[in-house]
A and B are shown apart, each in its own frame.
Chain A
Amino acid sequence: MIGAEETLTRLSIAPRARDDAAVAAVAERFARRVRAVPPGTCPLAFELAFLQASAAQTCGKCVPCRDGLPQLAALLSRVASCEADEEDVARMRALAEMVRDTSDCAIGYEAAAALLDGLDAFSDELESHLRLGRCRKGVGQTVPCETLCPAHVDVPGYIACVAAGAHADAVNVVRKDNPFPTACAFVCEHPCEARCRRALIDAPVNIRGIKRYAVDAAPADTVAPPPRSVDTARTVAVIGGGPSGLTCAYFCALMGHRVTVFEARERLGGMMRYGIPAYRFPRERLDEDIRGIMQAGTITVRCGVEVDAETLRDIAGTYHAVYVAVGAQAGKGLSLIGAETEGVLSAVELLGAVGDGELPDFSGKRVAVVGGGNVAMDCARTAVRAGAEEVSVVYRRRREDMTALAAEVESAVAEGVELVTLEAPERIECDEEGRCAALVTRPQMIGPVKRGRPAPVAADKPERRMPVDVVLIAVGQDVVTAPFEEFGMRVDRGRLVADERLRAEGFEHVFVGGDCQTGPATVIRAIAAGKVAACNIDEHLGYHHKLAYEVKVPSALPSDRTPMGRVELGERPARERKRDFTNVEMGMSGEEVAQECGRCLRCDQFGCGVLEGGREQYA
């Protein structure tokens, strides 16, 4: 029987499922947990959790989803616990295909598709479960930040030092794996934060911000590096004075080897000087890291030396080992009509000139930057600072598809840069004097996902003509490979080829790393490569040097589990900063850094961090 009060009225503003709002909170929590999946988790166990979560979402209508997903989970559970055989896997695949192809809605078919993709992606792991009855080597949880830092810096360690006020110790904890604590404090893309376990409670710890505090409090050039080993009298040549080359030089020097750095430009630093603008990474702060590195031991620097094939042969014949880390120095061009017009520059040209102190004057000019990466933002913001009247970033996808960090895009917009999205550059028009007059673009619409990203397709709209005086092309960089190819190194798809241990193919004592091996990437990946190269060169030279490490990391107190906001680094106001090259980003205050350090869960000492194999460090 219906209650009397219900017959008096028909509708209610209350949600039908009264827990939906609370479920949304759980979902957010759940999503954070999913995003923070610990590195090293068994992929099949994770797929199983995915399936079970999918089964929990079924509405209960269709057989393939309602009955199929739990059956798939049951089968996968056997696989995950290494009880399944080939026949089970065959049945699971057949069922998954049926569920994928016949489910009504995405709850069913997407779950099955994910499983099928997972079985392919994790075929080695699957094989291991079936044949060996255990996970593949390397599966097993490790401390997330440390693992995901390409250089495997002991993050919890230096956070603990900062928390204890031991800032110099913090710098040396970083330096144990990375001689660029300052560079990484300013410009690192911080992959260490991606799966920070703190996210389970609230949000990842602002690791880079903490490091910034450390290097502000104890500048790198004021902190002595650890003592170097005794001289080995072995010689190492490093081609390229960027982050990778200098890292290699630093560690080789600490090991007692004699290092010579060959740098084509006038000064050291590579893209940190000639790519990243000073308002993001002040040059004097870069110099702190470089001075710190130079304290490591015998490092001879030879700037202004353009290494050609001939020189290479000399070097290779002279030095006991060679590390090639020349980066990706050539700006990629676009095959646009009018690309040779006066007023059209590549990002590399512009930023390189700025690195050498030659700031162009864009006063009164209209500047268009083509591209959507961090370099495009750097160009746009540099153009603003060079006095341009208006600056537009022209990009053929959507804003959310830009590869630039969201914060970089936001900062550019704040400084007055206009984003012109879903427009593909078609040609550049010039005036009678041959100077750039306009950029003509073809409107795009966003289309199907290709290789994980939504790809644009030409839209049925008329071309757009943007009157501009300067066009900056920032669509990527190429490696200058010709001299190395001539020298005899193998090049594949524009990159120098090396194995995972960075030994150049066909050479015993030539190593390759950084952007020239991976293609344009991040500072920290270049640093990681430099360190790998240094260690492997040491081994190649017949040594097994252990580097001195004299920091005592404070032990962990019980974690504070109270959910707490993440302290973000502030920026100077746009109207103030956009006319100068002074650093934009501001560091944390003392109380902020204390709070932020307090959020670190010390995974080095709780959870898997204390397990055998639970840390991932080089040393």
Chain B
Amino acid sequence: MPSITIDGVAVEAAPDATILEVAQEAGIRIPTLCHLRERSAIASCRVCVVDVEGLEHPVPACSTPAREGMAVTTSSPRVETYRRIALELIVADHGLDSTSYCFSCKKNGACELQDLCREFGVLASSYEVAQKREPVLDANPFLSYDPNLCIRCQRCVGACNEAARNHTLVAGKRGTRTTIEAPFGEGWRATDCESCGNCAQACPTGALVEKRRAAYRSWETERVRTTCPHCGVGCQLDVMVKDGRIMDAEAADGPSNRGLLCVKGRSASFDFVDAPDRLSTPLVRNPVTGELEPAAWDDALDLVARRFTELRDAHGGESLAAFACSRSTNEDIYLFQKMARAAFHTNNVDCCARV
């Protein structure tokens, strides 16, 4: 294992690790913008430049392999200047007035560019700022792309191609006019886009976003880490809770999903929670009208217990059955089968494993 020093601290580097990875492992912060683990390592933004002893010019930490004996300095007047220039170039590309200086941006407060600019004291760009008013692509139900805010870091491209491997989102045009061809415009249905939104999660700015972000600011929300309620993959996700409502979901770096989600996990895993047709009171069938009518919990539970007890006592436990949903928690199901076996006296217990 190569040994290097970062700001004078000796650290061991994993084989093939980059300076950035070694620093992160050692808990030393190097600012980054375009880099996103397992998504994008194209090294485009130069925010992570560091000095390496013996090299004339600074190098991007995210793409430079750590080599035995390297002496890395993460901050110097030149490095800081270059980072600031990089940010000013990016801000000039990003523009500020199409969102009224972040005011109307969906990512305000959750924008990595905004955070870095604040950190480096970049309040505006000293370069010519693009006056872009390109149309926003927002026909997709969940995702939208505002080319005016795009800084062309290609994290979304990495997310679609390197992570989701869907190969739908690509860089379009070329050279200085490089842009992102996001499949969210008219005709989005005809594309191979799976609407998984991994691109949006990768976007550091407000360019490629989940539309749900319009309804909240990240500082208003609390994150709760949980497991997706749909298929058996067990993707880890964070639901974003604002005022007792789930506003959005984001992928977490779980062992089975590695930071990925599908369209269902990201966008269709929580609206049902406060759907207007959620049941909020027990219903009991009126023997006269044959209709289900609201009832008090005690009455409903008593009725349930009484009728099952009667049937059990009259016909034996085998006359009862209990089926649990396979999307309930282990704890629910454990107690449910315990109820069946211990209270119903039946082994006629099953789940929808075969459905």
Contact = CB atoms under 8 A, between A and B. Distances in A.
B132 to A, nearest CB: 13
Given A57-B175, A60-B176, A102 B58 contact: yes
Contacts of A100: 57
B98 interface: no
B175 A63 contact: no
Interface string B272-287: 0000000000000000
Contact of B58 (A63, A91, A101): A101
A104 B177 contact: no
B128 A71 contact: yes
Contact of B82 (A58, A67, A101): A101
B86 A64 contact: yes
Interface residues of A, number: 27
Interface stretch (B87-95, B99-107, B215-223, B300-308): B87-95
Contacts of A98: 46, 81-82, 85-86
Given A60-B171, A94-B81, A102-B58, A67 B49 contact: no
A67 B93 contact: yes
Contact of A63 (B46, B128, B173, B174): B46
Contacts of A68: 85, 89
Contacts of A60: 152, 171, 173-178
B328 interface: no
A107 B171 CA distance: 19
A104 B152 CA distance: 16
Contacts of B56: 101
Given A71-B89, A98-B81, A55 B43 contact: no
A59 interface: yes
Contacts of B81: 94, 98
Contacts of B58: 101-102
A62 interface: yes
Contact of B176 (A64, A66, A101): A66
A503 B45 CA distance: 58
Contacts of B89: 63-64, 67-68, 71, 95
A74 B127 contact: yes
Interface in A63-92: 63-64, 66-71, 74-75, 91
B77 to A, nearest CB: 12
B154 interface: yes
B226 interface: no
A95 B85 contact: yes
Contact of B178 (A66, A94, A104): A66
A546 interface: no
Given A63-B89, A71-B89, A74-B127, A104 B82 contact: no
B133 to A, nearest CB: 19
Contacts of A461: none
Contact of B128 (A1, A56, A74): A74
Contacts, number: 84
Interface in B136-180: 152, 154, 171, 173-178
Contacts of A137: none
A65 B58 CA distance: 15
Contacts of B93: 63, 67
A1 B174 CA distance: 23
Residue of A1, A63, A64, A95 with highest tally of chain B CB at under 10 A: A63
A521 to B, nearest CB: 37
A61 interface: yes
Given A62-B44, A94-B81, A101-B57, A67 B92 contact: yes
B175 A66 contact: yes
Nearest to A71: B127
B127 to A, nearest CB: 4
A102 B57 contact: yes
Interface in B79-133: 81-82, 85-86, 89-90, 92-93, 126-128
Contacts of B171: 60
Contacts of A74: 127-128
Residue of B81, B127, B177, B190 with highest tally of chain A CB at under 10 A: B127
Contacts of A63: 44-46, 86, 89-90, 93
Nearest to A87: B126
A69 B127 CA distance: 11
Contacts of A91: 126
B53 to A, nearest CB: 15
Interface in B48-94: 49, 56-58, 60, 78, 81-82, 85-86, 89-90, 92-93
Contact of A59 (B46, B174, B190): B174
B43 A104 contact: yes
Nearest to A61: B44
B9 interface: no
Residue of B81, B82, B93, B177 with highest tally of chain A CB at under 10 A: B82
Nearest to A95: B85
Interface string B172-194: 01111110000000000010000
Interface string A100-114: 111010000000000
B28 interface: no
B288 to A, nearest CB: 59
Residue of A62, A91, A100 with highest tally of chain B CB at under 10 A: A62
Nearest to A55: B176
Contact of A102 (B49, B90, B178): B49
Nearest to A99: B85
B335 interface: no
Interface in A28-65: 55-64
B175 A56 contact: yes
Nearest to A70: B176
Contacts of A71: 89, 92, 127-128
A58 B90 CA distance: 16
B311 interface: no
Given A74-B128, A104-B43, A69 B85 contact: no
A50 to B, nearest CB: 15
A70 B176 CA distance: 8
B80 to A, nearest CB: 11
A58 B89 CA distance: 15
Contacts of A95: 85, 89, 127
Interface string A470-499: 000000000000000000000000000000
Contacts of B127: 71, 74-75, 95
B42 interface: yes
Nearest to A109: B57
A60 B42 CA distance: 11
Nearest to A57: B175
A80 to B, nearest CB: 15
Contacts of A55: 175-176
B49 A61 contact: no
Residue of B78, B126, B190 with highest tally of chain A CB at under 10 A: B126
Contacts of A102: 46, 49, 57-58, 60, 82, 86
B150 to A, nearest CB: 12
A228 to B, nearest CB: 63
A58 B42 CA distance: 15
Interface in B27-49: 42-46, 49
A419 to B, nearest CB: 37
A67 B90 contact: yes
A55 B89 CA distance: 14
Given A57-B175, A66-B44, 16 more contacts: A56-B175, A58-B176, A60-B171, A60-B173, A63-B45, A63-B93, A64-B89, A66-B176, A71-B92, A75-B127, A98-B46, A98-B82, A98-B85, A98-B86, A102-B49, A102-B86
Interface of A: 1, 55-64, 66-71, 74-75, 91, 94-95, 98, 100-102, 104
30 contacts: A1-B190, A60-B176, A61-B42, A61-B154, A61-B178, A62-B44, A63-B45, A63-B90, A64-B46, A66-B175, A66-B178, A67-B89, A67-B92, A70-B176, A71-B89, A71-B92, A74-B127, A74-B128, A91-B126, A95-B85, A95-B89, A95-B127, A98-B82, A98-B86, A101-B56, A101-B58, A101-B78, A101-B82, A102-B46, A102-B58
